[in-house]
């Protein structure tokens, strides 16, 4: 079996850039990609800092796999072993989600809600590697005029597109993006043309500066700094933090809505007294579906130059390990991409 270089999760705090064995070839209906870029996601940093969250440590009931596993689910690459629809040489992005194709959610096109949901880079080997195998059904061709680094943003942008859709009508409301890591940043990008006021809240000054530069939106270091008037709020909770969630519920005016995008553990407490007495709405938004992913690729193609500004680092695979270790410690703002042709980590 061939060997490659990959970024592998072994256990909490133990992620290594190492040699990894590939199968001899992709499964029927799957593609083998030579990875161009793979984005680092908040879920990757969560697995590094407090995992296992979704990475299995015993045999997964669908994939049969368990740690150690190759991380990475925001992937662009070039097909080297393909199908009739995706011959060798085709540039693609993959949304990495695999459903059972039989449950009501899958039949409705909501693969993210499949009770047997599996994902490349979480329950199967992912794209922080030189090569990755992915189902052809999860892939879309990258337009010739779209750079591959920008195309890699399709997966996180799809998450943002779904969250904004889940928020519903923003008319008359103040939109508040709480946490401007990669997903919060793309949501801010999507909201930059909103008719009502939008503010991005993050305690890290570098992140606030990047939001302001990319979107022109108002920023604040804390929710207590957000203007309060007679408007309800629509909060996009992207921090995945217990304290941020509690602070948001405490500060939200009556009849406000929160879209919970950040990943929380099962024991995260919620102030139900305030939720009831202020008639707050809490809405979950999980990942994305195939339609969100296709819409994201269209957004990127139409506005590639603007979205390119989200990317602050293009590093090599060992650099991805350094980036994961820094996450949560005032790490550099923006999206970090890693790939075989990236440059060594220097910050």
- Domain harbouring 164, CATH code: 3.40.50.720
The pLDDT value recorded for residue 150 is 98
The pLDDT value recorded for residue 103 is 94
Same domain, 8 and 144: yes
Same domain, 68 and 203: no
Report the sign of the C-alpha dihedral through residues 69, 70, 73, 78, in that order: negative
- The whole-angstrom separation of Cα 54 and Cα 341 is 29
Same domain, 316 and 259: no
Whether residue 299 is contained in a domain is answered as no
CA torsion 184-189-191-192 (nearest 10°) is 140
Are 63 and 118 a contacting pair, CB within 8 Å? yes
Same domain, 260 and 326: no
Length of the chain: 347
* Pairing between β-strand 257-260 and β-strand 233-237 as defined by DSSP bridges: parallel
Whether residue 298 is contained in a domain is answered as no
Whether residue 301 is contained in a domain is answered as no
Whether residue 302 is contained in a domain is answered as no
Residue 251 has, within 13 A of its CA and on its CB side, a CA count of 22
The pLDDT value recorded for residue 347 is 62
Same domain, 92 and 165: no
Whether residue 131 is contained in a domain is answered as yes
Same domain, 125 and 29: yes
Whether residue 114 is contained in a domain is answered as yes
Same domain, 201 and 249: yes
Would you give the DSSP letter of residue 124?
A: B
- The whole-angstrom separation of Cα 109 and Cα 101 is 9
The pLDDT value recorded for residue 264 is 82
- State which of 267, 284, 301 marks the end of a domain: 284
pTM: 0.94
Same domain, 162 and 200: yes
> What residues of the chain score a pLDDT lower than 70?
1, 328-333, 347
Same domain, 139 and 164: no
The pLDDT value recorded for residue 328 is 56
The pLDDT value recorded for residue 266 is 78
Same domain, 95 and 173: no
The pLDDT value recorded for residue 182 is 86
Whether residue 300 is contained in a domain is answered as no
The pLDDT value recorded for residue 329 is 53
Whether residue 22 is contained in a domain is answered as yes
Same domain, 140 and 273: no
The pLDDT value recorded for residue 331 is 55
Residue-range definition of the domain harbouring residue 136 = 3-153+310-338
Same domain, 183 and 232: yes
Domain with residue 29: its CATH number is: 3.90.180.10
What total of structural domains would you count in the chain? 2
The pLDDT value recorded for residue 42 is 84
């Amino acid at each position: 079996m061939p060997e490659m270089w990959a970024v592998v999760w072994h256990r909490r705090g133990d992620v290594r850039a190492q040699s990894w064995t590939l199968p001899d070839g992709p499964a029927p209906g799957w593609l083998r990609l030579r990875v161009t870029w793979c984005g680092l996601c908040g879920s990757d940093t969560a697995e590094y800092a407090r995992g296992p969250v979704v990475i299995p440590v015993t045999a997964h009931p669908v994939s049969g796999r368990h740690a150690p596993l190759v991380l990475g689910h925001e992937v662009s690459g070039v097909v080297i072993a393909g199908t009739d629809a995706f011959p060798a040489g085709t540039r693609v992005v993959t949304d990495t989600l695999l459903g059972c194709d039989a449950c009501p959610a899958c039949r409705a096109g909501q693969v993210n809600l499949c009770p047997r949901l599996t994902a490349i880079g979480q329950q199967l080997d992912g794209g922080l590697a030189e090569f990755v195998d992915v189902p052809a059904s999860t892939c879309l061709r990258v337009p010739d005029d779209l750079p591959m680094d920008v195309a890699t943003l399709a997966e996180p942008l799809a998450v943002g597109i779904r969250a904004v859709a889940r928020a519903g009508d923003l008319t008359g409301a103040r939109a508040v993006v709480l946490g401007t890591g990669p997903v919060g940043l793309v949501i801010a990008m999507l909201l930059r043309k909103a008719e009502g006021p939008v503010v991005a809240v993050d305690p890290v000054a570098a992140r606030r500066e990047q939001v302001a530069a990319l979107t022109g939106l108002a920023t604040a270091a804390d929710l207590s700094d957000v203007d309060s008037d007679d408007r309800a709020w629509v909060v996009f909770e992207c921090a995945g933090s217990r304290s941020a969630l509690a602070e948001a519920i405490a500060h939200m005016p009556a009849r406000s809505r929160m879209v919970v995008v950040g990943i929380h553990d099962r024991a995260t407490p919620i102030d139900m007294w305030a939720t009831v007495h202020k008639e707050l709405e809490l809405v979950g938004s999980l990942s994305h579906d195939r339609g969100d992913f296709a819409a994201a690729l269209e957004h990127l193609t139409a506005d590639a130059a603007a979205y390119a500004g989200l990317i602050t680092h293009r590093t090599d695979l060992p650099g991805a390990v350094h980036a994961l270790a820094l996450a949560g410690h005032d790490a550099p703002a923006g999206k970090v991409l890693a790939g075989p042709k990236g440059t060594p980590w220097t910050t």
